[in-house]
Amino acid sequence: MSPVIELGEMRHGESADEPEPAPPRRPPGPAVRVALLGVLVLLVVHAAAGPPRRPVPIRIPAPQGAAFVVRPDRVVVADGPGATGRGGRVVAAYRLPGGEPAWRFALTDGDHVLGLTTVAGGLLVTSSPAGDGDSVSAMLDPATGTLRWRHPGYPVPTASGGLLLENPRPPGAGTVRAVDPASGAVRWTLPVPGQEVGYRRDDHGVTQLVLVTPQGRVTVYDADAGTVAHTGRVAPAAGRADYRYAQVVADLLLVEDARGSVTGYGLDRLEERWSLPVGSRAGLWFADCAGMVCLRNQVGGAQALDPATGRPAWTDERWLGMGPVGDRLIAAERGVGEELELSALDPPTGRVLARLGRWRVSGNDLPSGPLLGLRTLTEDRTLVGALDVAAGQVRIRGILPGAWSECADTGTQLVCLRPTGGMAIWPAGR
């Protein structure tokens, strides 16, 4: 039996070659007409608008290599140390978020800015004549630019919000003075008998000063009161030469003698903990590494020492530099140009906890704000990221057109400096 293929039913009197007449069309109802009109309007508006526009930045004048500091309602700009000899000596403030000029302050003739910082609610401007010579610190009212006080010395903030002014001179002639940040009144003064002052610090600033005489006499002072906490002696004469330098790292006083050995003393009791021969290695220095003592040299690589015993805890030659961020380390290895490959490390073991990617770290930032990284993208753009070392993550804060050398993050805006000069305020997160 052959298969049957259904072709449908043919009405009486129809031919297969004649098409079926189409049913009569009804005009669209009111709802359909309104919907079609809305779609048409959207298409016309979209065609007229074109591609989305980039945010327009607010421009702020700034010299090349400018120093700047960002406050919640101000950005303050000054010639940086690289402007020495170019004649600029003006500190200028601009309001945020609009960038309107707020005030201008002129330095003493011949002075050039070394740095800007905020201390106890004031704006501290540090300068020196022609970028060389004794430093001078001037406290300005951040709202008006009015001079509150001026003293010689380089500023060192204390953990409790106070301020020390260090005036380094030839050995035996230097001084450290504590001043009231609000009034500039001098609270106390200490002569510096040796080459330099050692500072014991916590996460907020200096807690103690350590002065060492050329004969090895040590005096530890409270940073706020200026009173003696305790005294002692290092590098005793029996079988040892006089020390060459002393350095405070975490809770240790490190002393190098003329034979090329470094001895670690506990700062609280000045007891000798360990001694390490370092020989004649040039460019060697020690640094606080979030509870460990890092031993570094000029050619790169790092070794972490146990502060209690001086024994090496770990060594890694790939790191070009590192520093403490909270209870972790941020470490850098070679990347591309000025951009370095950054990682978060565990200080006791040196283990890599997170890789943060390739960035160049911005040096200008809010004291309590995030650590920012910049990366050059294709098509002349700059990626700005907040580097969260504790979480091992990076949060993107913006992609900016053009090249930028430094940025600060206010939380809602990015304030950035161009390599060739000039600043701009951008909305963050765009």
The residue-averaged pLDDT of 228-256 equals 78
The residue-averaged pLDDT of 399-424 equals 93
Residues 6+ apart with CB under 8 A from 75: 60, 68, 69, 93, 94, 96, 99, 408, 415, 423, 425
Strands, E assignment, 193-348: 198-201, 206-212, 217-222, 228-233, 243-249, 252-257, 261-266, 272-277, 285-289, 292-296, 302-305, 312-316, 321-325, 328-336, 339-345
For residue 239, pLDDT beyond 80 = no
pLDDT in tens, 56-100: 889 999 988 888 999 888 999 998 655 545 555 789 999 999 999
- What is the pLDDT, as a whole number, of residue 168? 79
Structure tokens at 172: 């035996």
Highest average pLDDT, of 7-11, 126-130, 277-281, comes from 126-130
- What is the pLDDT, as a whole number, of residue 396? 95
Q: If pLDDT is split at 50, 70 and 90, which confidence band does 238 have?
A: very low
Mean of the per-residue pLDDT values of the chain: 82
* H or E segment and range at residue 414: strand 413-417
Q: Which is more confidently placed, 51 or 112?
A: 112
Whole-angstrom Cα distance, residue 312 to residue 314? 6
Query: Which residue type, as a one-letter code, is found at position 81?
Result: P
- What is the pLDDT, as a whole number, of residue 370? 77
Is residue 318 within 8 A of residue 333, CB to CB? The reply is: yes
Is residue 420 within 8 A of residue 65, CB to CB? The reply is: no
For residue 23, pLDDT beyond 70 = no
- What is the pLDDT, as a whole number, of residue 25? 46
Whole-angstrom Cα distance, residue 305 to residue 350? 11
Q: Which is more confidently placed, 171 or 151?
A: 151
Residue of 156, 232, 233, 231 whose CA lies nearest to 196: 156
The least confident of 22-36, 69-83, 293-307, 348-362 is 22-36
pLDDT in tens, 274-325: 998 876 555 678 999 999 999 887 666 788 999 999 999 999 999 988 899 9
Is residue 194 within 8 A of residue 213, CB to CB? The reply is: yes
State the greatest distance between any 2 C-alpha atoms of the chain, in Å, as a whole number.
132
Residues 6+ apart with CB under 8 A from 243: 212, 216, 234, 235, 255, 256, 257, 258
For residue 202, pLDDT beyond 50 = yes
Quote the pTM value: 0.80
Residues 6+ apart with CB under 8 A from 187: 162, 177, 178, 179, 180, 226
For residue 194, pLDDT beyond 90 = no
pLDDT in tens, 135-145: 899 999 999 99
- What is the pLDDT, as a whole number, of residue 223? 95
What's the Rg (C-alpha) of the chain?
33
